Chains A and B, each alone.
Chain A
Amino acid sequence: MTPDVELDCRGLICPQPVIELGRAIAKIAIGQVIGVTATDPATRYDVPAWCRMKHQEFLGEQDSEDGVPMFLVRRVS
C-alpha cells in the first residue's frame, strides 16, 4: 500500500514520530492514509496506541525498501 502522505521519521527518537503524526493528521482529508517510517522501537507500539486514543484507524505495518518499518494510519475522524 502506498500512503497518501509519508512522514520520514528515521532517526527521530520517541516520542517525536508520534508528535509528527499528531501534527500531520489534521492536514489530510478523512479517508486518507499517512505512513510513518520510523527506526525508533517504541513507534511500533505507540502508533496503534495513538490511533486508539485519537479514534483513528491503524492499518498495520509494512517494510520500506531499506527494511525500516512504515506504520499506516487512516484518518477516520
Chain B
Amino acid sequence: MSSGGSGDQDREAGTGPTYLDAASSEPLHPAARDTWSAALEHGYADPRRLHGSARSSRLLLDNARAVVAESLDVRPDEVTFTSSGTSAVHLGLLGLVQARRTRGRVIVHSAVEHSAVLHAAQWGGEPVVVGVDSDGVVDSGDLLARANEPGVAVCALQSANHEVGTIQPVGSIELPEGLPVFVDACASMGRLPLPDGWSTVAGSAHKWGGPAGVGILLVRTGLRWENPFPADDRADHRSSGFENVPAALAAAAALQAVVAERDEVNARQHALIDRIRAAAATLPDTEVVGHPDQRLPHLVTFSCLYVNGEALVTELDRRGFGVASGSACTASTLEPSHVLAAMGALTHGNVRVSLTRTTTAEDVERFCAVLPDVVAAVRQ
C-alpha cells in the first residue's frame, strides 16, 4: 500500500476512497454480478452446436438479446453483442460506409465525437468535421449543409458527450432522405432513452454497470449495412468471435435494472451534479464546461486556470477522490482534449467528475468541501 498522507489515514479510518469516475467505467451492478455467476454454469457451450448444452447457451444468448431489446425499445433482431463499445462503434459506423461505398466515402461528424469515432472515420472514410458551440452542441445548420454535399456516405452524431455531458440534437435535424445516421450512444445507453433518427447505434456495457468486454450494436431493420471486416461463421453475422454468453446476459440484466431505476437515479444525480457545478463555479479563475441542463445526469467537467491537470487529479486522489481529466498532461497522446478544444474551453487544470449509482449526497459534500483547498494548494 502507498505511504503517508491524510488520504491514507481517511482510508484506514474506514471512509475509503470515493470513486467519482463512473463515466470511464461504472462499478458492476449487483444484477450483473448475480446473473453472471448463475450463467457461468450453463453458458459455456457453443450456441451454434446441436446438443443440449449448446441449446442452453443459445437460449441464454437469445434471452440476453430480448432483454436488451426490451430495455432499449428496439426489436431483438436489431441487437448484436460485440466484444466492446469500440468494436460496436467500428461496426456501426464503417458498416454503413461499406454499404454506401458507391455513393462516396465522406463521413460527416461532430468535432466532439469520442476518439473511437474519430479514429474509425479517419481509418475508413473521408472525415468532414462539424463544429460545436461553447456548450458543445453541434452546429445543426453546418451539419445539414455538409450532409447535403455530394459523396456523403454517413452522418455520425453522438447521443451525448462523454466529457462534458451535453446532449446532442440527434432526432431533430432534418437530414437528407436516405442518409444514414450512426449514433454513438455509449455515454447515455441505459441512462437516457435512445434518440430518434438512428440507423445504427453503439453502446458499451461497462458504462452502465455491466461487465467489460460487451458492446451493443444496433442495426435498424431493413437498413443497408454490410460487415466491413472479415466474415466469421457465428450465428450473428454482424459480429465476430465466440460470444461471451454469461457476460452478455449480465450486461442485459444490468441494463434492465438501470432502465428500471433511472427516473430516481437520474433525478438524484442531476441535483448532485448541479451542486458540484455550483461549487466549482465559486472557485477563482475556474470555468464549468458543458450545457447546464441539457446534459447527462451524472457528469460534469470544469477547468482551473494556472493549474496542472495531473497535479490536480493526483492531489484529489491523495485526498481520497478518484476523478478523470481532459488535460494534455493526463492523456497518453499528450494532446489536450479535442472536445474541450472544439468548444473553446480551457483545457488545462481540467477535472471530470462522474457519479456512480451509489454516490451519496454526503460524498458530494465532502468533495465540494475539499475542492477549494486542493485547487489553492496545487496553484500555489
Contact = CB atoms under 8 A, between A and B. Distances in A.
A58 B184 CA distance: 35
B340 A19 contact: no
Contacts of B34: none
A40 B218 CA distance: 41
Interface string B75-107: 000000000000000000000000000000000
Contacts of A48: 344
B335 to A, nearest CB: 6
B287 A53 contact: yes
Contacts of A18: 305-306, 348
Interface bin, chain B: 20 to 34
Contacts of B345: 45, 49
B253 interface: no
A13 interface: yes
A52 B344 contact: yes
Residue from A19, A49, A53 whose CB has the most chain B CB atoms within 10 Å: A49
By secondary structure, the B interface counts as: loop
A15 B336 contact: no
Contacts of B335: 41-42
B133 to A, nearest CB: 14
B348 A46 contact: yes
Contact of B327 (A14, A19, A22, A53): A14
A46 B346 contact: yes
B183 interface: no
A18 B346 CA distance: 11
Nearest to A19: B306
B22 interface: no
A19 B328 CA distance: 16
Contact of B328 (A14, A22, A50, A52): A14
Interface residues of A, number: 17
B308 A41 contact: no
A50 B306 CA distance: 10
Contacts of A45: 336, 340-341, 344-347
A14 B344 contact: no
A50 B305 contact: yes
A14 B329 contact: yes
B285 A14 contact: no
Nearest to A23: B306
B7 interface: no
B304 to A, nearest CB: 9
Interface string B241-281: 00000000000000000000000000000000000000000
Nearest to A40: B328
B60 interface: no
A50 B345 CA distance: 9
B344 A15 contact: no
Given A42-B348, A53-B346, A14 B308 contact: yes
A15 B334 contact: no
Nearest to B328: A42
A41 B328 contact: yes
A15 B325 CA distance: 14
B375 interface: no
B348 A15 contact: yes
Nearest to A44: B341
A18 B379 CA distance: 13
A50 B287 CA distance: 10
Interface of B: 285, 287, 303, 305-308, 327-329, 334-336, 340-341, 344-349
14 contacts: A14-B328, A14-B336, A15-B307, A41-B334, A41-B336, A42-B335, A42-B348, A45-B340, A45-B344, A45-B347, A46-B348, A48-B344, A49-B303, A49-B347
Give me the 7 closest cross-chain CB pairs, A-B, nearest first.
A49-B346, A15-B348, A42-B336, A45-B341, A42-B328, A14-B348, A42-B347
